[in-house]
Amino acid sequence: MNSFICFVLQAWNPTSSCEFSRETSRFLRDYAVWEINAFLWISLISITYFLTHRLFKLFELWNQGSKIPGPPSPSFYGHFTTLSKQNLTEVLSDSHGEYGSIVKLWLSPNQLLVSIKEPKVIKEMLWKAKDKLPLTGKAFNLAFGQSALFASSFDKVEKRRESLASELNVKLLDRANLIPTRAVDRIMAELHQNMAKGHVDCKMASQHMAFTLLGATIFGDTFLAWSKATIYEELLMMVSKDACFWASYSVTPFWERGFWRYRQLCTELKCQTRDLIQECSRNYKFNGHLNVRDEPYGNIMGMLIHGCLTMGGLISNMLMRLVTHPEIQQKIRSEIIMARKGSEEKDLLIVEKMPLLLATIYESARVMPAGPLLQRCSLQHDLRLKSGVIVPVGAIVVVPVQLVQMDDSSWGNDADKFNPYRFLCKTDETSPSLNMDKSIAGHAEELKDQRKSSFVLNDPNENTAFLPFGSGTRSCVYQKFVIQGIATLFASLLEQYEVRLNPGSKTNSKPSSTDSISQDFLGYKLVFARNN
């Protein structure tokens, strides 16, 4: 560099101009060659280092992966082709049957999937593996922007999860405030209107119930008066339908027209969310349990979409179970009537006094979980399990929830049957609130039965194989609220209506246990008949 400065200084000396200009150009040429060579060497070393590092990681992945039992790869490209023909849960079911409770599948040469079916190991893994798949975070990010609740890295969500959980716990103590009774009243009023037309579509009705309940819980009563709620619901569902598809591109597909249409929908959704938040801020009586003014849009839209899909799925699942098990529906109704009799507050239904209703919700979530798999990965380091198995960094770890929640070894011989009583235990004590009354004489026989032996609800989480809300570091923050909300809704619903399948609907109406919400009960039409 010093010689370069000398040359620059010499350039000011006009006497040696010709000789000097030749020298200068030679020097500059040499200098340029030297610079280019240095640049090429540095690039070569960096690329070699990068590739060697990747190769080393790949060998490490192959080495660690080979120690986990599992079916041999059908080709160099892994099980990808098998999976496109067969359902992943079926493939995992066969593999677990043959290779034990921890199995691996190669999805591609550098993509390892490890599935765990043993409840104790699952529990350990769900506490240790704190990150989610980058695709999940990407889908939320692309659709709704930055989120401190649904990002893939645990570091990004930890604080917001903690504060949300403590806010909810305080609210859960004051339950009357948590479940917006006006939302339930609104749902019931809409149901009255719809029933005047005849029947309702199970899926549409469930999704709308979930949306109204959740919206009113997050935004307070303002949400119920919001004129754009219907358009917002449609927009939310349209965005959610395509979110994973567009996020699955490794390079953002700027060249696809459909992608730009999708982005436009996302922008519109964001604008509507901003309007809703402004509407809430203007309202002095705002009483939602989140301070939405301080929440990023990504969090709110993420919660709405996840909550609507999962709650909608559980509500439609509950409706179908009640329709296909009228005897349980009848018993729950008696339970509601008894709880009403024993309650001092007329407007408030205490769902804790309805163990069969709560057990039916848990059982519905057991036989048909919101999704077939729980997924995790460790983005920073290998995952070392107590059993000695090491899951290499970056591998996808899944829990086949459907298989675990239907496993005889955890649930007994009737694991594949819908039986809410598995969450109840009998007590022979007769509660003072069970005194009979003329107004409930129609249920006399059942009430007599319930007088003889009442039921107590077991904590479903005592069974480590109960995982509809996940478990561990990334479990659902809203589990208790969801159960409370859905129970309150069904208590009001069944108190006023009997739910039946519309005579014109499909006849093979027993929902299969292998359905997931993605295949919800399409085409099922329900009739809500007023109770006498």
Query: In the complex, which residues of this chain contact ligand HEM (CB under 6 A)?
Result: 126, 132, 149-150, 157, 161, 214, 303, 306-307, 310-311, 314, 370, 374, 468-472, 474-478, 482
CA neighbor of 465 nearest in space, from 172, 168, 101, 112: 101
State how far the alpha carbon of 310 is from the alpha carbons of 41, 478, 512, in Å: 54, 11, 18
Distance CA 385, CA 373 (A): 20
Going by C-beta distance under 8 Å and a sequence separation of 6 or more, which residues neighbour residue 204?
Answer: none
DSSP 104: E
Cβ proximity to ligand HEM: between 114 and 338 the closer is 114
Query: How many Cβ atoms are within 10 Å of 64's Cβ, its own excluded?
Result: 19
Q: How far is CA 304 from the centre of its chain?
A: 11
Please say which residue, 156 or 500, places its beta carbon nearer to ligand HEM.
156
Beta strands in 379-523, from DSSP E residues, in sequence order: 383-384, 390-391, 396-399, 424-427, 454-457, 497-501
Nearer to ligand HEM, 143 or 527 (CB): 143
Least gap, CB of 400 to ligand HEM (angstroms): 13
Closest separation between CB of residue 507 and ligand HEM, Å? 28
User: CB-wise, 107 or 305, nearer to ligand HEM?
Assistant: 305
Q: Which is nearer to ligand HEM, 310 or 378 (CB)?
A: 310
Q: How far is CA 113 from the centre of its chain?
A: 20
What three-state secondary structure class fits 529? strand
Residue 138 or 474: which CB sits closer to ligand HEM? 474
**Three-state DSSP class for residue 229:** helix
Smallest gap from Cβ 144 to ligand HEM, in A, equals 13
Q: Which helix (H) or strand (E) holds 530?
A: strand 525-530
Question: How many other CB atoms are found less than 10 A from the CB of residue 487?
Answer: 21
Could you say which DSSP state residue 156 is in?
Answer: H
Closer residue to ligand HEM in complex, CB, 214/447: 214
Write down the least CB distance from residue 70 to ligand HEM, Å. 22
Q: Which is nearer to ligand HEM, 174 or 345 (CB)?
A: 174
DSSP 434: G
Extract the annotated binding site.
476
Element (H, E) at 21: helix 17-66
Extract the annotated binding site for heme.
476
CB of 473 to ligand HEM, least distance (A): 8
Least distance in angstroms from the C-beta of 485 to ligand HEM: 8
Beta strands 200-201 and 525-530, pairing class: antiparallel
Handedness of CA 190, 192, 194, 199 (dihedral sign): positive
Instruction: Find the helix or strand (DSSP H, E) in which 106 lies.
Output: strand 102-108
Q: Quick one: CA dihedral 57, 62, 66, 68, positive or negative? A: positive
- Name the minimum Å distance from CB 471 to ligand HEM: 6
Amino acid at 15: T
Inter-CA distances, 29 with 25, 32, 36, 39, 109, Å: 6, 5, 11, 15, 47
Q: Which is nearer to ligand HEM, 73 or 310 (CB)?
A: 310
Shortest Å, Cβ 439 to ligand HEM: 34
Least distance (Å) between residue 254 CB and ligand HEM: 28
Q: Which residue has the tokens 């567009």?
A: 246
